[in-house]
Structure 1
Amino acid sequence: MTQATADLTDADHTQGEPREFLTFTLGNEEYGIDILCVQEIRGYDGVTRLPGAPAHIKGVVNIRGTIVPVVDLRIRFQLGNATYDALTVMVVLNVGDRIVGVVVDSVSDVAALAEDQIRPNPDLEGAVDPRFVTGIGTLDGRMLILLDIEGLMASAEMGLAGSEAA
């Protein structure tokens, strides 16, 4: 078993059982995050901007009485200016002990990937820190960049209160 596949195997999944990922786009690339982290998918509404927050933290929203920070992954990954339109969505995540919203260009679908469809993360430098890429998924000719969304949201670079040092 490769390291990327080992990273994707946890107590919630038995070996050989496909893992499900919510797939979404940022620019021209498709990404995947573990479906178990997804609480809900919402249309993108305006947020309350926080003074002094990093550019990728769009602000906060009130979701059923919970104040939720909202991160724009396009800005965080330095993929150019974000355009907010009818397809822009916010994926509400339950990561660690917090709820976080992430803005993405569009949500594609839920993809089930078997172990043999997940390749190790290539050793490349880029906008996405390789520490937060668990592998590359292949599905019907598509390539999905599989993110460790929990690690990313907990990283000090994210700038969210309560983030751990990376």
Structure 2
Amino acid sequence: MSRQLITFQLGDQYLGVDIMAIREIRAWSPATPLPNVPSHVRGVVNLRGVVLPVLDLRHRLGWGMTDPTARHVIIVVRIGEQLQGIIVDAVNDIVTVQTEDMQPLPDMGDTAAQQFLDGLATIDQRLILVLALERLVERAAMADAA
């Protein structure tokens, strides 16, 4: 069995998300900040009348803050019942990964990698970190938003 992923970059890192979770890919537009939200939530944007939370994926993964420019992209994904935007540096490609080519994460204790990743895949000699989207959003935040 195979799985299709959209791959994208955060700096030199290549990540992927299941293509079925993607709703759209849009150019960067500044987010309106909200008070008292987690530091990885950059704010909200208006997507054709829908208020969309925008997450700084780099910050959420513990790799520092994103300083968005016109070159950045917002990938709109469905996490649970809510649409969310995630800021990435660039979108690369659609790839097909065979289930047997997915590798589990090595056991490194309770790390952010274990928390936010589904596994690893090697595509064209490049290691792709496969995101577990549902784990990017805190459970309390998901319950409040619903």
Q: TM-score, normalised by structure 1?
A: 0.79
Provide the C-alpha distance between the structure 2 equivalents of 1:19 and 1:103, rounded to a whole number of angstroms.
23
Q: What are the Cα deviations for residues 122-163 of structure 1, in whole angstroms up to 9, with x where unaligned?
A: 11258634033111001110100111112323x33xx63417
Structure 1: runs of 5+ lacking an equivalent: 1-15
Q: Which residue of 2 aligns with 1:160?
A: 141
Residue 34 to residue 116, structure 1, CA distance change in 2 (3 Å): same
TM-score of the superposed pair, with normalisation by structure 2: 0.89
Say which is worse superposed, 143-152 or 36-45, in terms of deviation: 143-152
Alignment deviations for residues 36-60 of structure 1 (CA, whole Å, 9 cap, x no partner): 0000000110111101222210001
- Tell me the equivalent position of 2:130: 146
Instruction: Report matched runs for 1:67-106 at 5 Å.
Output: 67-106=51-90
The CA distance in 1 between the partners of 2:92 and 2:71, in whole Å, is 11
Instruction: Give the aligned residue type for 1:22.
Output: I
| Contact 2:60/2:136 (8 A) holds in 1 | no
**Counterpart position of 1:21:** 5
- Aligned-partner residue type, residue 84 of structure 1: P
Instruction: For residues 54-101 of structure 1, give each alpha carbon's deviation from its aligned partner in whole angstroms, at most 9, with x where no partner exists.
Output: 221000111111111110001111212312123211000112111111
Kindly tell me the number of residue pairs found equivalent between the two proteins: 144
Q: Residue 10 of structure 1 aligns with which residue?
A: none
2:95 aligned with 1:111: yes
**Inter-partner Cα distance in structure 1 for 2:129 and 2:62:** 16
Q: Which one has the bigger strand percentage?
A: 2
Residue 32 (str. 1) matches residue 13 (str. 2): no
Comparing 64-73 with 116-125, greater Cα deviation is found at: 116-125
Structure 1 runs (4+) deviating above 4 angstroms are none
Moved more, 46-55 or 136-145: 46-55
What do residues 97-130 of structure 1 show as CA deviations (whole Å, max 9, x unaligned)? 1111111111111111012321111112586340
Counterpart residue type for residue 115 of structure 2: R
Partner SS for 2:71: coil
Q: Structure 2: any 5+ residue segments left out of the alignment?
A: none
The 1:47/1:99 distance shift into structure 2, 3 A limit, reads same
Larger CA deviation: 97-106 vs 114-123: 114-123
Partner of 2:4, secondary structure, is strand
